[in-house]
Chains A and B, each alone.
Chain A
Amino acid sequence: MAVLDRPAGAERPHLVASPSGTGREASQVPDRILMKGNEAIAEAAIAAGCDAYFGYPITPQAELLEWMARRMPEEGRVFIQAESELGAINMALGASAAGARVLVSSSSPGISLMAETMSYMAGSRLPCVVVNVMRGGPGLGSIGAAQGDYLQATKGHGHGDYRVPVLAPSSIAEAIELVRDAFIIAERYRTPVMILADGLLGQAMEPVSPAFRDLEPRADDWVLEGAAGREPRSIRSLHLRAEDLERQDNDLQATYRRIVDAEVRWAGEELENAEVVLVAYGTAARVARTAVERARADGLRVGLFRPITLWPFPAGALREAALGARGVVVVELSAGQLVEDVRLAVEGTVPVFLHGRMGGMIPTPDEVVGAARAAWSRTDPVPRTPRGRNGEDGR
């Protein structure tokens, strides 16, 4: 069994998978190592220069907190296991206001508790990365992988007119990349950013390249450090005068428009000539990818559209990708949440079907192939034109 740990005295990058007793040189960093998703996210954050981590134990993200409990003090950085998720996210608010690069993690019920302060941080323009390793719900639900928090993540956790960019990795390697990107987006726009993973991504081990990347320290003219030699600063979301608050809200909305213009991310596979387009993110996208291969081997031209930013949603790209298809099938681990954004994106240009499982159940690839086949048989062929249906140019 591969042992994942830091050999004593090893230089960074120091994560090696060395089967115990094999005598492999500890200083040899292999090209690929086996890491658990929760641990990879934690280590990626440390590599990206995370100054402070705050969390509270909850399955299925507890390993993330445990990893940070060991590693952050090693690096001389701040780690606190808070008294609750309320405590954790508010410690994050304080550390962020003081200029720290902050990570917070939890799972669905804990994220609900953090919602109030997510709103405060958005209103106070405080950067922070929040990881949600989703579990089944509602209520205490289950500890299995689920995607029932899509609407919560993308449409607002707390109160008020605010948005939070949401990044959804579908592999552990991608999660490592997105952690760094999340910090960049958080600081570029001064906003909380969420990484939306699920229990499977958090718990599974996958081979990854230990290419954790550094992020430059930042210089900010808004952080709190004491007002010596300058005017005092206040970080707040309260603006009692209607004119003041509307001005702040307009600034916030302008920031969101810049995010929509610049930060949309998605990936496509086998979309050329696809008759049925699957839309899925996270773990559901992993199943969908296998389904694409099986369907293609079976003669059904299926492609995969995978949103990576759930907000901002890649609506334009999806609409274009779906133009030549007979139908779209949304595969998700919920009763149908992503499907709402998909329908908004395609605006009725193509029929949209849902294949959702809940409670920690994960559809099999064959199930998804069946859903794609059913969609194919319930839809009409699309007249082939140079671009899309009925000669539309996709705009």
Chain B
Amino acid sequence: MTASATPPVEGRTIYRRPSLLSNPTSYCPGCGHGIVHRLIAEVLEELDLGGRTILVGSVGCAVFAYDFLRLDAVESPHGRAAAVATGVKRFRPDRVVFTYQGDGDLAAIGTAEIVHAAARGERFTVIFVNNGIYGMTGGQMAPTTLVGQRTTSSRTGRDIATTGYPLPMTEMLSLLSGVQYAARVSVGDPGLVGKAKQAIRRACEIQLDGNGLSLVEVLSTCPVGWGMTPSEAMERLRGEVVDAYPIGTFVDRPRGIAQRLPQPGPATRSVSEGF
């Protein structure tokens, strides 16, 4: 065989690995974290922000995010990422700062920090990856676990009588005036992944405007913790998960999308009247 003399066919790039991604991730097959990392890398690269971004990590499966994203990064104690990010952003207001937190981190142990960062209108971005379970510690029940879902600490399914109801963090936070942008997205199929990227991009733009917190909740999978194959997990994500956690933009204040705290209505019967 001889080498062909014909010139190579002129090609166009369909997919290029973002330069802000470094090592291959160590996540389980079917886990959504790798997708979310890639979306962040793509958005920061497209906006040319990588060189002035500081990642505030958290505790959970994504604790090693700094190994996969080529960004300056600081580790937070479990749940405290929003406070750590507050300290970083207040001292370096011209940098892009984002937290990357799971649902155990943000919705359980870190509720005080995220609520008050949101109430203060801190000017950073929160990427909140919700897979409804504590993945890293072996699949225990989280505040976001769906009613009836089996986990290693709710063997017969989450029972509302003893463990209450799933916590809709993004709906709750979207009531606060300090939140400029709040959206819930999913990585359940390629179309949804595209929308998730748009939301992350919008959150970064909101941060650059410097008027308040931007939050993107990403519904994601944990096939190992859910006891499913990767494709079954994606199926569930598109089904009962999104039924429980509706996706969409809750707040985009520059575009006039906002939720407000309930205002006291006209005079109604006071509670004590019944007694």
Query: Nearest chain-B residue to A227 (Cβ)?
Result: B72
- A117 and B87 contact, CB distance less than 8 A: no
Name the prevailing secondary structure of the B interface residues. Answer: helix
- B95 is an interface residue with CB less than 8 A from chain A: yes
- B51 is an interface residue with CB less than 8 A from chain A: yes
Q: How far is the CA of A98 from the CA of B90 in the complex (A)?
A: 10
**Which of chain B's residues have a CB closer than 8 A to the CB of A80?**
86, 90, 120
- B51 and A94 contact, CB distance less than 8 A: no
Q: Which of B64-90 contact A (CB under 8 A)?
A: 66, 70-77, 80, 83-90
Most chain A CB within 10 A, of B56, B63, B73, B88, is at: B88
Given the known A-B contacts A52-B91, A86-B112, are A97 and B74 also in contact in the complex, defined by CB atoms under 8 Å?
A: yes
Given the known A-B contacts A90-B77, A94-B85, are A224 and B90 also in contact in the complex, defined by CB atoms under 8 Å?
A: no
**Which of chain A's residues have a CB closer than 8 A to the CB of B63?**
238
Q: How far is the CA of A237 from the CA of B51 in the complex (A)?
A: 23
- A95 and B73 contact, CB distance less than 8 A: no
Given the known A-B contacts A90-B113, A93-B74, A236-B75, are A229 and B87 also in contact in the complex, defined by CB atoms under 8 Å?
A: no
Number of A-B contacts (CB under 8 A): 137
- A185 is an interface residue with CB less than 8 A from chain B: no
**Which of chain A's residues have a CB closer than 8 A to the CB of B72?**
224-227, 232-234
A107 to chain B, nearest CB (A): 20
**Which of chain B's residues have a CB closer than 8 A to the CB of A97?**
74, 84, 87-88
- B104 is an interface residue with CB less than 8 A from chain A: no
**Which of chain B's residues have a CB closer than 8 A to the CB of A91?**
83-84, 86-87, 90
- A96 is an interface residue with CB less than 8 A from chain B: yes
- B52 is an interface residue with CB less than 8 A from chain A: yes
- B87 and A92 contact, CB distance less than 8 A: yes
For the side of the interface on A, what is the size category? 35 or more
Residue from the list B70, B76, B80, B112 in contact with A227, Cβ < 8 A:
B70
For the side of the interface on B, what is the size category? 35 or more
Q: How far is the CA of A117 from the CA of B76 in the complex (A)?
A: 9
- A96 and B87 contact, CB distance less than 8 A: yes
Q: How far is the CA of A107 from the CA of B246 in the complex (A)?
A: 44
Most chain A CB within 10 A, of B63, B92, B95, B112, is at: B92
Q: How far is the CA of A45 from the CA of B50 in the complex (A)?
A: 34
**Which of chain B's residues have a CB closer than 8 A to the CB of A224?**
54, 72-74, 88
A217 to chain B, nearest CB (A): 13
Q: How far is the CA of A43 from the CA of B262 in the complex (A)?
A: 43
**Which of chain B's residues have a CB closer than 8 A to the CB of A236?**
57, 66, 73-75
B residues with a Cβ closer than 8 A to A are 50-54, 56-57, 63, 66, 70-77, 80, 83-92, 95-96, 112-113, 115-116, 120
A80-B120, A226-B95 known; 18 new pairs, CB 8 Å cut-off, are A52-B87, A80-B86, A87-B80, A90-B77, A94-B83, A94-B85, A98-B54, A98-B87, A100-B87, A124-B75, A224-B54, A224-B72, A225-B72, A226-B53, A236-B66, A236-B74, A236-B75, A238-B63
11 CB contacts below 8 A, A to B, read: A92-B87, A97-B88, A98-B54, A225-B54, A225-B92, A227-B50, A227-B71, A228-B50, A232-B73, A235-B74, A236-B73
A residues with a Cβ closer than 8 A to B are 51-52, 54, 78, 80, 82-84, 86-88, 90-100, 102, 116-117, 120, 124, 224-229, 232-238
